[in-house]
């Protein structure tokens, strides 16, 4: 616990110093906006140095010997630990906690929306609650799979002993708790009510809490960039002998493609948020029309990140699902090479489609056609992912364990998300559907369907590897089915209310939509309850579940060829790779992990 | 193997027919009171009809696989079917054709239809501010959503010149019964063209209203205004009435 306490103390001291400097040098009060910004920056640095960055790393910068603070058992998770498996587990637990928290917030939203008038909240509070739900869930979707499985599995799957930059990896993770604290503390200073999209001028004019939103999200973005950098570098430089690019497990390819995006586009979100901070604090007028700025500038820069961000969320999900489908169908992944090309194409084309979020914004008319065309072009590589999924399932030997069940659900939901996405890519229908509940339903199908269901599937699939114990299969299947069924019952009606005049981000709506909304709210509550099963299953099984063998799924990829959980440096001796990762049923195919010949014998 | 393909194809066809019966008979839209609303609904329906076989294709394989290809235990390997390139090529041809097809219609065709010919019969100014709308009628009278309603003549091409107060925030001018919307941005004037084709009032259907569609703060949900689409003579009378009141 000592590193945590030390980090907290030095974080508080850092905050005080930053806020004090701001108070003394400007007209800002101690709880004013500039003090919040400078306090957060110094507090973040104080926390990082205190938690262990100084001992493990900083000391080297001034010529001292770095100290590593070893710990065993659960204590190793509560410190600056550079083991990628520890970091993956840290991300998984953190993101699941944030997910459950943001899910509770969603339940409060649905309670408000269960009937037309103002019920639980004032309209003002509802906007703040909605904004909190939005940004927390975005964080989970961005860093859930990539942070947890990307860190835990990429080195194992490519036969490496760790990530390329282990200390940057630990640094990236430990930036997350201050981000969460800043977001959750925002209600103390007026909260933020501009949604996760934070469009100015609203986000320039609203309460001080917006400042905490901005600094927190910028810090989270930096963590995301560092994580992306690390995965890209690891895949390029750390592959075991024989692990050629064409033998990479498909999840590694997906994480690689998503990481290229994190590494290259996250800066744009940070830049747009910094511009808002400058407008608020320094009096610049990037977005204020009276000073010569324009609100449209923000929309372009913001969506330049935030549309590709959808693929940062969903590409790793595709990787997890295709991985599971191949192993549980016991067939080679269908059209592997086409999937790889599709991942990279989705990342590439996905970076140049952002203005389809702006068809109603009043941007130049000549942009509308090209952005519609590019957006619809994304459906072609995305279609290949579906071909790979159903092609692999076809005539397979399907072993319906919880991960495969969730993979089936994933395909169904991402299919609905993809198809309804076409209605939003189409210029004419988007003019109607934009900013309505149709969009809300669509992106929940895409992000919950495409990212969260894959996070759940991966959690069950790799649970034996991470914990060394088996989860309860029956409870797992009941949870998966429960979550899936009530997800449909919640969100299908929301497509309808969107078509019938309900816009998004409202606490109240027209009376005629009350019945359908009440139904959706009730179904949402039941859906939320399913997570009791999820949590109970995982917590109980982690402690009392039957001991897992090294390879309970009889899968070929490298992570299953080492003990559960894997030894500290992953492989007892440096591995080398022979056959492909998915050569199920291929006569005479060599194993994926080459048996290392005894050098003496 | 042949049998599997035949059965799954049959399942696909049955599901598609059921899906088409569903989507061709449903009426999920609120009243469409404008030329543009019909263009939007037609585009939506066309996309839905095309989406049905795509959706049912994947669903048919999922259902068929879930029932016919089970083998518990993870011990037996499936046939190592490798992609020979032919299926992938066929798949790409179909998806490119579909994407290209919808890009042309409803994509570019709808875009050109909804923009329509230049010029307008009536020009009406719209100003959003937190949290009300101000309508500027052609006779120079302003009416706000606090006290008034938006009255429009039927069968006239109306040009809305939309803006937001400056400084204020972004709003979005949306009339659900007309479907389309356009943002009101501080410091800019955006335009939207609508030709109402049927008379109607908010009392008849709550979708005959102006609704702010871009999050603008605490009054966002209630930033709305009743709309009444009337015959030309009634519109002229209304203009005279507000002029008399205003003068």
Q: Is the pLDDT of residue A382 over 50?
A: yes
Look at residue A600 in the predicted model and tell me its pLDDT.
Answer: 46
Taking all residues of chain B, what is their mean pLDDT, rounded to a whole number?
95
**Cα–Cα distance, A293 to A299 (Å, whole number):** 13
Q: Is A533:A124 a contact under the CB 8 Å cutoff?
A: no
**Cα–Cα distance, A488 to A501 (Å, whole number):** 21
Radius of gyration of chain B (CA): 25
Q: Is the pLDDT of residue A376 over 60?
A: yes
Look at residue A596 in the predicted model and tell me its pLDDT.
Answer: 63
Residues 6+ apart with CB under 8 A from A272: A298, A301, A302, A305
Segment B188-208 shows an average pLDDT of 97
Instruction: Pick A398's closest partner by Cβ from B70, B113, B221.
Output: B70
Q: Is A569:A162 a contact under the CB 8 Å cutoff?
A: yes
Q: Tell me: the pLDDT tens digits for B144-174?
A: 999 999 999 999 999 999 999 988 999 999 9
Taking the Cβ of residue A541 and every Cβ of chain B, the question of whether any pair is shorter than 8 Å is answered with no
What percent of chain A is predicted at pLDDT more than 70?
99
Q: Tell me: the pLDDT tens digits for A430-456?
A: 999 999 999 999 999 999 999 999 999
Taking the Cβ of residue A461 and every Cβ of chain B, the question of whether any pair is shorter than 8 Å is answered with no
User: Using CA atoms in the order A92, A565, A541, A255, what is the torsion angle rounded to 10 degrees?
Assistant: 30
Q: Is A437:A503 a contact under the CB 8 Å cutoff?
A: yes
User: B213 and A386: CB-CB below 8 Å?
Assistant: no
Segment A529-544 shows an average pLDDT of 97
Q: Which residue of B has its CA nearest to A324?
A: B74
Q: Is the pLDDT of residue B186 over 90?
A: yes
Look at residue A38 in the predicted model and tell me its pLDDT.
Answer: 96
DSSP run (H or E) holding A577? strand A576-577
Q: Is the pLDDT of residue A597 over 80?
A: no
**Cα–Cα distance, A561 to A200 (Å, whole number):** 52
Domains annotated for chain A, with CATH where assigned, are: 1-80 (no CATH), 81-594 (1.20.210.10)
Shortest CA gap A560–chain B (Å): 14
Taking all residues of chain A, what is their mean pLDDT, rounded to a whole number?
95
Instruction: Describe the strand order of the beta sheet including B142-144 as a list of residue ranges.
Output: B142-144, B132-136, B122-129, B158-164, B190-194
User: A500 and B51: CB-CB below 8 Å?
Assistant: no
User: B83 and A393: CB-CB below 8 Å?
Assistant: no
Q: b/e per residue, A289-320, with b = 16+ CB within 10 A?
A: beeebbbbebbbbbbbbbbbbbbbbbbbbbbb
Q: Is B143:B135 a contact under the CB 8 Å cutoff?
A: yes
Q: Is the pLDDT of residue B247 over 60?
A: no
The pLDDT-based confidence of B245 (bands split at 50, 70, 90) is confident
User: φ and ψ at A95, to 5 degrees?
Assistant: -70, -35
Q: Is B153:B162 a contact under the CB 8 Å cutoff?
A: no
**Cα–Cα distance, A391 to B61 (Å, whole number):** 9
Instruction: Calculate the CA B92 to chain-centre distance.
Output: 29
CATH 1.10.287.10, domain B122-246, yes or no: no
**Which SS3 state, helix, strand or coil, does residue B185 take?**
coil
Which pair of tokens denotes residue B230?
A: 């009337």
Q: Tell me: the pLDDT tens digits for B219-230?
A: 999 999 999 999
**Cα–Cα distance, A256 to A236 (Å, whole number):** 9
Which pair of tokens denotes residue A19?
A: 């806020």
Of the residues B55, B58, B60, the best mutation for testing chain A's interface (the one with the most A CB atoms within 10 Å of its CB) is B58
Q: Tell me: the pLDDT tens digits for A302-321?
A: 999 999 999 999 999 999 99
**Cα–Cα distance, A47 to A49 (Å, whole number):** 6
Residues 6+ apart with CB under 8 A from A187: A128, A209
What are the chain B neighbours of A398 within 8 Å (beta carbons)?
A: 65-66, 69-71
User: Using CA atoms in the order B238, B239, B240, B244, what is the torsion angle rounded to 10 degrees?
Assistant: 100
* Predicted ipTM of the assembly: 0.97
What are the chain A neighbours of B76 within 8 Å (beta carbons)?
A: 330, 397
**Cα–Cα distance, A464 to A462 (Å, whole number):** 6
Q: Tell me: the pLDDT tens digits for A332-360?
A: 999 999 999 999 999 999 999 999 999 99
**Cα–Cα distance, B218 to B216 (Å, whole number):** 7
- How do strand B181-184 and strand B171-174 relate by DSSP bridges? antiparallel
Q: Is the pLDDT of residue A601 over 50?
A: no
**Cα–Cα distance, A263 to A75 (Å, whole number):** 31
Look at residue A486 in the predicted model and tell me its pLDDT.
Answer: 98
Shortest CA gap A569–chain B (Å): 29
Give the count of alpha carbons within 13 A of A264, CB side only: 15
Q: Is the pLDDT of residue B83 over 80?
A: no
User: A429 and B70: CB-CB below 8 Å?
Assistant: no
**Cα–Cα distance, A497 to A96 (Å, whole number):** 30
Shortest CA gap B240–chain A (Å): 32
């Amino acid at each position: 616990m000592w590193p945590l306490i030390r980090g907290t103390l030095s974080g508080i001291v850092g905050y005080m110093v930053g806020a004090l400097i701001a108070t003394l040098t400007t007209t800002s009060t101690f709880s004013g906006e500039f003090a919040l910004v400078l306090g957060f920056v110094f507090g973040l640095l104080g926390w990082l140095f205190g938690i262990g960055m100084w001992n493990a790393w900083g000391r080297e910068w001034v010529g001292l010997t770095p100290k590593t603070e070893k710990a065993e058992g659960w204590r190793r998770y509560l410190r600056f630990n550079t083991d990628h498996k520890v970091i993956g587990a840290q991300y998984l637990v953190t993101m699941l906690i944030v997910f459950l928290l943001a899910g509770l917030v969603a339940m409060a939203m649905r309670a408000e929306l269960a009937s037309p008038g103002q019920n639980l909240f004032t309209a003002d509070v509802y906007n703040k609650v909605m904004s909190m739900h939005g940004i927390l869930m975005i964080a989970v979707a961005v860093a859930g799979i990539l942070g947890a499985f990307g860190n835990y599995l990429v080195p194992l799957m490519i036969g490496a002993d760790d990530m390329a930059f282990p200390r940057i990896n630990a640094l990236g993770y430990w930036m997350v708790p201050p981000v969460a604290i800043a977001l959750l503390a925002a209600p103390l200073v007026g909260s933020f009510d501009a949604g996760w999209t934070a469009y100015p001028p609203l986000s320039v004019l609203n309460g001080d809490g917006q400042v905490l939103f901005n600094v927190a999200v910028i810090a989270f973005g930096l963590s995301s960039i560092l994580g992306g950098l690390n995965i890209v570098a690891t895949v390029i430089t750390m592959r075991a002998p024989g692990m050629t690019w064409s033998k990479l497990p498909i999840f590694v390819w997906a994480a690689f493609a998503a990481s290229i995006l994190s590494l290259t586009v996250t800066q744009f979100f940070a830049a747009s948020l910094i511009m808002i901070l400058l407008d608020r604090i320094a009096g610049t007028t990037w977005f204020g029309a009276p000073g010569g700025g324009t609100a449209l500038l923000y929309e372009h820069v913001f969506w330049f990140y935030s549309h590709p961000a959808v693929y940062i969320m969903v590409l790793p999900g595709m990787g997890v699902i295709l991985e599971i489908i191949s192993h549980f169908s016991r067939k080679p992944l269908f059209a592997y090479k086409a999937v790889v090309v599709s991942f990279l194409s989705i990342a590439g084309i996905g970076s140049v489609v952002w203005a389809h979020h702006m068809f109603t914004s009043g941007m130049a008319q000549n942009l509308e056609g090209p952005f519609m065309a590019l957006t619809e072009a994304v459906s072609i590589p995305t279609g290949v992912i579906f071909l790979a999924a159903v092609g692999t399932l076809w005539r397979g030997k399907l072993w319906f364990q919880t991960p495969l069940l969730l993979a089936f659900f994933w395909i169904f939901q991402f299919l609905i998300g993809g198809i309804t996405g076409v209605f939003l890519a189409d210029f004419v229908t988007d003019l109607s559907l934009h900013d309505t509940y149709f969009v809300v339903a669509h992106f929940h199908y895409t992000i919950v369907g495409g990212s969260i269901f894959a996070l759940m599937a991966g959690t069950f699939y790799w649970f034996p590897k991470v914990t060394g114990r088996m989860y309860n299969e029956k409870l797992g299947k009941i949870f998966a089915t429960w979550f899936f069924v009530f997800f449909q019952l919640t969100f299908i009606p929301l497509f309808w209310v969107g078509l019938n005049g309900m816009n998004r981000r409202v606490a109240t709506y027209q009376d005629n939509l009350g019945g359908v909304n009440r139904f959706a709210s009730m179904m949402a509550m039941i859906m939320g309850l399913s997570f009791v099963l999820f949590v109970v299953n995982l917590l109980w099984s982690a402690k009392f579940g039957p001991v897992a063998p090294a390879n309970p799924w009889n899968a070929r990829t490298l992570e299953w060829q080492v003990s559960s959980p894997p030894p500290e440096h992953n492989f007892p001796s440096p591995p080398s790779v022979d056959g492909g990762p998915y050569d199920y049923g291929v006569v005479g195919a060599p194993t994926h992990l080459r048996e290392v010949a005894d050098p003496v014998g | 193997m042949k049998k599997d393909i035949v059965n799954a194809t049959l399942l696909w066809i049955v599901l598609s027919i059921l899906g088409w019966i569903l989507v061709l008979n449903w009426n999920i839209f609120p009243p469409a009171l404008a030329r543009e609303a019909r263009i939007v609904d037609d585009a939506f329906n066309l996309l839905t009809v095309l989406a049905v076989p795509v959706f049912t294709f994947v669903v048919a394989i999922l259902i068929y696989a879930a029932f016919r290809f089970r083998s518990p235990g993870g011990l037996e390997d499936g046939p190592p079917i490798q992609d020979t390139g032919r299926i992938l090529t066929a798949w790409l041809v179909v998806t490119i054709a579909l994407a290209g097809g919808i890009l042309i219609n409803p994509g570019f065709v709808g875009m050109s239809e909804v923009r329509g010919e230049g010029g307008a019969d009536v020009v009406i100014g719209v100003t959003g501010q937190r949290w009300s709308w101000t309508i500027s009628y052609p006779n120079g009278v302003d009416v706000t959503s606090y006290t008034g309603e938006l009255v429009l003549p039927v069968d006239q091409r109306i040009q809305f010149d939309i803006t937001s107060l400056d400084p204020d925030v972004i709003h979005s001018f949306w009339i659900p019964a007309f479907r389309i919307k356009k943002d009101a941005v501080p410091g800019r004037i955006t335009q939207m063209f609508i030709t109402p084709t049927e008379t109607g009032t908010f009392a008849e259907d709550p979708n005959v209203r102006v609704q702010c569609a871009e999050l603008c703060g605490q009054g966002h949900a209630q930033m709305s205004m009743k709309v009444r689409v009337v015959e030309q003579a009634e519109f002229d009378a209304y203009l005279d009435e507000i002029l008399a009141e205003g003068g």
